[in-house]
Structure 1
Amino acid sequence: MKRITVLLMLNVMMLISCTGIAQKQTFDVISYEVPRGWEQKQNDASVQLTATDKSSGAYVMAIITRAKPSAASAGDNFTDQWSKAIKEQVELDGEPVMQAPSKGNGWDIVTGGAGYTDNGTKGNIALLSATGNGQTVSVIVMTNSKKYEQDLSVFLNSLELSKTVQKSEASSAESSTGNNVNPSSLVGLWVDYKAEVSGYSNGVPMYSAGYFRKEYLFKENGTYVFRVKNWSATMKEILFIYETGTWKVNGNQLTIAPTGGKGEWWGKAASGRTTGWGSRIRLAAIKKETVAYNFELHYYEGVKETHLLLSSNLPTEREGSSNNGSQKNSWSYVPRKQGNSMIDNPPGFKP
C-alpha cells in the first residue's frame, strides 16, 4: 500500500480525538495545525495547504472542504467526492485502496487512497470522507515525494472533527422541519453563492474572479423576489435575472408562483471589476414556472445554521438540475441577513 495512504489510515482515530499541543486553526467543522513552511489559502468552499520545493519539484497539498448538506450514505459520499475531486482531475494508477469504515464523534468515516502520475512523476493521494447528521466533509492529501512524510504526519495528527449531534439532540431549529414548519420561518433572505472554478491543478480547484449567485427573498406578505447574477471569467457578458411572485406553504410543500420578472444580458465594466456594470445589451430568455417543491428547514450542528432544502421531481427553470452534491433535483440555500445581499441590480434597473 502506498505510504501516504498508510499515514492517513493510521491517523483516522486521531482525527476524532487528538488535541495537539500547538495552537490549532479551525475551518468549519475541522481543526488543524499548519506545518511550518506550508502556505495556506482559504475561500468559502475550502482551505488549501501547500508546500513546494522548487529545486526538486517536490510538493505536498492538503484540502479541507466545508461541510455541506447530504442525505447520502458515507460510502456514497466518498465515491462522489473521489470521482469529482480526484478521479476526474488526476491521472490515477488504479482504484482506491479502501480501509474499514470507522466512527467517532457522530461521524461515519470512509478512507481510501491510490497512486497517481503527474507529468511523468509518481505520487500518492488519499481521501478521508466523513458523514454525520445530514452533512459531509472531506480531507484530501497528496504528495509526489517522501520529503514531506513528517510534515504530513504532523498535519494528520492535528486534525480534529467537531462533535456532531443526533437529530434527537439537535437544536430546536431542526424541529421546524417537514410538516411542522411555521411559514414565518421562511421569511427572509436565502442564498446560493458560488465562486467560479476555472480548472484544477493536481486536484486542487483554481478559482477565477467569477461567481454564480442566486437568492430568494421571501416576504411576510406572501410575495418573493428571486434574483440571479452570473459573472463568469469565461464570458463577455453578465447574466441578471429578476423574478417576482407569490409563495405559500402547505405541509412540507413550498409553492412558488411567478407573476412577473425578466432576464437581461449586460456588458462588463470597462475596469474589469466584478462588482461593476457595463451597458445593457439585450433581454435574456427566461421561462416563468410555478413549482411545488418539497422542502425542509434542516439545522446543521457543524456549521450551526439552518438551511432551506428544496427538492423536485424534475429540474426547474430557476434552479436547473441540482446544487446539492450528488442529490438529483435538490437545492440548498443558506440564510443571510436582509440588506446584506451580494447581488446588486444593474444601474437604472426597473422591475
Structure 2
Amino acid sequence: MKHPICITWLLSAVLLCEALPAWAQKKLVPASVSAFSGISLPQGSLQDNRLLSKASAAVLLEDESTKAGVKVSEAEVLQLPGKSSGWSRSRFEELIRLAGWQLVPATSPNYGWLKRGNEYLIYYYEEKAQQTDLYFGKPEGIPAVSLPATTTVTPTTPAEPQTTTTNTGGITGTWLKTSATSSSSAYGYIKCQYNFFDDGTFVFYKKTFDAYTPQIIFRKETGSWKLTGNTLSITPTRAVVQTWSKKDNADQYGSLIKAQTVTPEVTTYTVRFVEFSELNLLLSPVDGKTTERDGMFGINSQFPNTYFYQRPPNASYLPELPPGEVSNNNTQRSPENTKPSSTSNQASTGSQTSAPTNKGTFTGTYTYNKTNWDDGWVSTIEEDKVVVTKGNIRVHLYYPLPFDDAARNAGRDYFWDNYLTKEFRILSKQYRDHGEVISALQAPYIEGTAIDPKTGRNCFLAFYVGASNGIMFPTLAIAPDEQSIRTTFPKAEDKYHSDLAAMSRYNRFAVALPDIVGKWHESSNAAMNYYNAYTGAYAGMAFAASSDEFEFFANGQYVSKHQGASGMVGNMNTYSLSYAGKATVTNWEIVLTNRHNNKTETFHAWFEAVKGGRVLYLQNKEYSGNRYLLVRELK
C-alpha cells in the first residue's frame, strides 16, 4: 500500500514543477540595495528570490567558506549589469568600502570575505559582458580569515608625565579633518583645520559647504593650547561664525552677510597618535561630549567619542579661507617628517624617480582609426559614432549621451524619437516585450522599418539603449530586412543578454607610443551617510576616493602616481604610490617596468573612441581586476 502514497507525492511534485515558471518570474524583482551588505546597486539590478537559486548560491559559497571553517546559513542572489553597461569590479569594491566593510581576499578567484565590526559575509562575484553575478552569504560563526591590522604609535611625551609643555614636535603644525556628503540629490562637505604654533597659541578654521543651501558658513577660533602628558587643553579667547553668500551659486565666497561672535568652548582632550595608513591625531573630549568646533565624532568602535585629524598632503586640501583672511601655516611640518620611516608606502623606483626630459608632444592625430576584427567585423571612427560593418549589416555605436530627466522620463523612446527620426525616415516603430507589462522588466529595445538615407532604400532598424550612472549608450543595427536582424542578433531584445548591446566591444582601436605621449588620469569618489535605524540619529559617513595618473614620454619612459582614501570619515585609510620606468607599446599591449616590488607588468591596452577624443584602457594581464580607464589631461 505504499505505492499509492509515492504516486500521489510524485504527482504533487510534477504539478508544482509545472507551476514553477510563472511563480518564479515573480521572484525575480528589481533591486536597488543589497539586503545583506547594504550596498547600493546600479540601475537594472535584480534580486533572485527563487528557492532553488538561493540554495544553489549557498552551496557555491559553502565550497569556499568551508576552507575558513564555517558553513553558509543563507544566501542572497543578485544580478547586476555587465561590463558593457560600464559596471566594473572596482565600482563594486568602492561601494563595499563605502558601506563600511573591509575586503578580505579568499583562497579562490571570484570569492572574497567582508568584515564590519563583528559581522562577516562571504561573496562570489563574476563579471560578464551583459550580466554580473553577485552572491552574498551569511556564515555560521566566525571564519578563520586573516585581517589587516592597525598599528598604534606611542606618542612622545616628556620624561615627567606631569610636566607641562607648550612646545612638542608631535602636535605642532597643521591638522585636518574632512567629512563629505555626496549622492544623486546632494553634495557638501565640512573641513576643520587646526594650526598649533610653537608659542602655545592656535588658530582653528572650519568651512561648511552645501550645494543646496545659498550660504557658506565659516568659523574661526583663536586662543591657546597646552599639552600635559597626553592631555590637551584648548582655550579659545575668540570664536566668530561668518555667513557668506555664494558667488555664482558655486563653491566660492561671495559677500559677507553677517558675522557673529559665539561663546568659546574650553575643551580638554585625551591625545593619541595612531597609525592607520597615515598618522592620525586622535582627540577624545574628556567629558565624552561633542564640541561645536569639531562637530560630529568619527565612527570607530575601538576609539569611541573621538575626532580623527591627519596631516594634509599639501595646502590644496585645506579649507578655502574667505577674502581678507590670511592663513599662517609656518609651523606645519612635512607629513613625511611626522611619520615613522618604516611605515612609508612610497614605492621604490631606483634611479628613475625623476621624470625624463625628452617629453615630446601629442600631434592631435592617432595612428589607428580602423580595426579589422578576426570575425569579419570592421570598426571605423566617425564624428558622432563608431560604425561597425560586416556584409550588408551596419551597426552604429553612438557616443555616450547624458541620461537626464527628459531622457529618463521618456525611457527607451527618447533617443529613437529625438535622434533616429532625424537620421532616418522612419516608417514603422514597434516593441518586442513578449507579453511583459511591467516597464521595469521590459528591455530598452525598439525596432521598425525606415528608409536609409545612405542608400535611399528600405531597411530594418533594431535599437537598444543601455544606461548607467547618468549616461546612456545607444546602439543601432541597420539591415536590409527583418530576417537579417533575427539571424545576426537573435537576442537583440534580451534585457540582460542582448547581443546587440554587446556590440559595444567593437569600439576598440590599437595604440601606438606617439598616441599616448602626455598625461592621462582617472579619479572617482563616493560617500554615504549612515543613520540609526531605531533613533534616526546620525551615525557617521563612509567615504572613498582614488586617483591614478600616468605620464608617457616620447623616449619610451613613463611615470605614474596612485593615491586614495577609504573608510569612515575620521578613520580613513590612505595610500600613495609612485612608479617610474620604461613603457613598451605594441598595438594592443603596454609593458611597464619597475612597478610594485620592482616587477614588470603587462597590460592589455586599447583606445575607446568618444566624442572629440579617445579614452585609454589598461587591464593587467595577470590581475584582471587591476584596470585603469584614463582620460588625456588637456593643457
TM-score scaled to structure 1, two decimals? 0.53
User: What does residue 54 of structure 1 align with?
Assistant: none
Q: Secondary structure at the match of 1:183?
A: coil
1:48 lines up with 2:26 in the alignment:
no
Letter in 2 for 1:183: T
Q: Aligned-pair distance for 1:286?
A: 2.9
- In structure 1, what is the equivalent of residue 250 of structure 2? 273
2 CA distance for matches of 1:62 and 1:8? Answer: 22
Q: Which 5+ residue runs of structure 2 have no aligned equivalent? A: 1-50, 69-81, 106-111, 137-144, 162-166, 328-635
Q: CA deviation at 1:48?
A: 3.3
The two structures, once aligned, show a CA RMSD in angstroms of: 4.8
Cα deviation, 1:303-327, whole Å, max 9, x if unaligned, reads: 2x11111112222221234133566
Deviations 1:196-225 (A, max 9, x none): 234xxxxxxx47442211111112222111
Give the Cα separation in 2 of the matches to 1:140 and 1:63: 14
**Deviation readout 1:239-261 (Å, 9 max, x if unpaired):** 00111111111112111111223
Whether contact under 8 Å (1:65, 1:139) holds in the other structure is no
CA contact (8 A) 1:295 1:309 kept: yes
In the alignment, which residue of structure 2 is the partner of 1:258? 236
CA 1:261–1:7 in 2, change beyond 3 Å: closer, same or farther?
A: farther
CA drift of 1:11 comes to: 5.5
Summarize the Cα distance change of 1:299–1:269 in structure 2 as closer, same or farther, 3 Å threshold. same
3-state SS of 2:169 partner: helix
Superimposed CA distance per residue, residues 136-171 of structure 1 (whole angstroms, 9 cap, x where no aligned partner): 99999999xxx8454779xxxxxxx9963474xx7x
**Partner residue, 1:192:** 177
User: What is the rounded CA distance, in whole Å, between the counterparts of 1:63 and 1:189 in structure 2?
Assistant: 31
1:297 to 262, 273, 289: 273
Alignment partner of 1:307 is 2:280: yes
Aligned equivalents of 1:256 and 1:218: distance in 2? Answer: 10
Alignment of 1:64 onto 2:96: yes
In the superposition, relative to structure 1, how do residues 347 and 250 fare at CA in structure 2: closer, same or farther (>3 Å)? same
Confirm or deny: 8 A CA contact 1:62 1:142 kept in the other structure: no
Q: 1:286 aligns with which of 262, 265, 272?
A: 262
Match of 1:214 in 2: 192
Q: Residue 247 of structure 2 aligns to a residue in which SS? A: coil
Q: Distance in 1 between matches of 2:235 and 2:290?
A: 16
Q: Tell me the equivalent position of 1:319.
A: 294
**Alignment CA distance shift 1:81-1:130 (3 Å):** closer
**1:176 to 2:208 alignment:** no
Post-superposition offset of 1:349: 3.9
Partner of residue 115, structure 2? 129
Separation in structure 2 between the aligned mates of residue 187 and residue 140 of structure 1, nearest angstrom:
45
CA distance 1:292–1:62, change in 2 (3 Å): closer
- Please state whether the residue corresponding to 1:257 is helix, strand or coil: strand
Q: How big is the shift at 1:128?
A: 2.4
Summarize deviations over 1:89-146 as a string: whole Å, max 9, x none: xxxxxxxxxxxxxx989xxxxxxxxxxxxxxxxxxxx9922569xxx99999999xxx
Percent identity for Structure 1 against Structure 2: 25
Q: Distance in 1 between matches of 2:297 and 2:148?
A: 26
Which of 1 and 2 has higher RCO (CA within 8 Å, sep 6+)?
Answer: 1
| In structure 2, C-alpha distance between the alignment counterparts of 1:178 and 1:9, rounded to whole Å | 51
SS of structure 2 residue aligned to 1:245: strand
Q: In the alignment, which residue of structure 1 is the partner of 2:211?
A: 233
Question: Does the C-alpha gap of structure 1 residues 345 and 5 become closer, same or farther in structure 2, counting only changes over 3 Å?
Answer: farther
Structure 2 distance, partners of 1:137, 1:176, is 33
Q: Which residue of 2 aligns with 1:164?
A: 148
Q: 1:264 to 1:141 in 2, by over 3 A?
A: farther
Question: 1:194/1:166 Cα in 2 relative to 1: closer, same or farther (>3 Å)?
Answer: closer
Aligned partners of 1:214 and 1:140: how far apart in 2?
Answer: 37
Report the Cα distance in structure 2 between the residues aligned to 1:137 and 1:310, rounded to whole angstroms. Answer: 30
Q: Distance in 2 between matches of 1:226 and 1:139?
A: 44
Displacement of 1:299 in angstroms is: 0.7
Offset at 1:292? 0.6
Worse-superposed segment, 314-323 or 334-343:
334-343
Return 5+ residue gaps in structure 1 as ranges: 16-34, 50-60, 67-79, 83-102, 106-125, 154-160, 199-205
1:342 aligned partner, one-letter code: L
Q: For residue 319 of structure 2, what is the amino acid of its counterpart?
A: I
Q: Please say if residues 127 and 141 of structure 1, whose CA atoms lie closer than 8 Å, have aligned partners that are also in contact.
A: no
1:268 Cα deviation from its structure 2 partner? 0.5
Partner of 2:8: none
1:329 paired residue among 277, 297, 305: 305
For 1:243, give the aligned amino acid: E
The 5 Å alignment of 1:98-177 reads: 128-130=114-116, 148=131, 150=133, 164-165=148-149, 167=151, 174-176=153-155
- Answer with 258-267 or 334-343: which moved more: 334-343
Letter in structure 1 aligned against 2:256: R
Tell me which structure has the larger Cα radius of gyration.
2
Aligned residue for 1:239, secondary structure, equals strand
d(CA) in 1 for partners of 2:125 and 2:274? 34
Distance (whole Å) between structure 1 residues aligned to residue 255 and residue 125 of structure 2: 45
* Residues 62 and 165 of structure 1, relative CA distance in 2, 3 Å threshold: closer
Counterpart secondary structure, 1:65: helix
- Mapped to 2, the partners of 1:295 and 1:238 lie a distance apart of 31
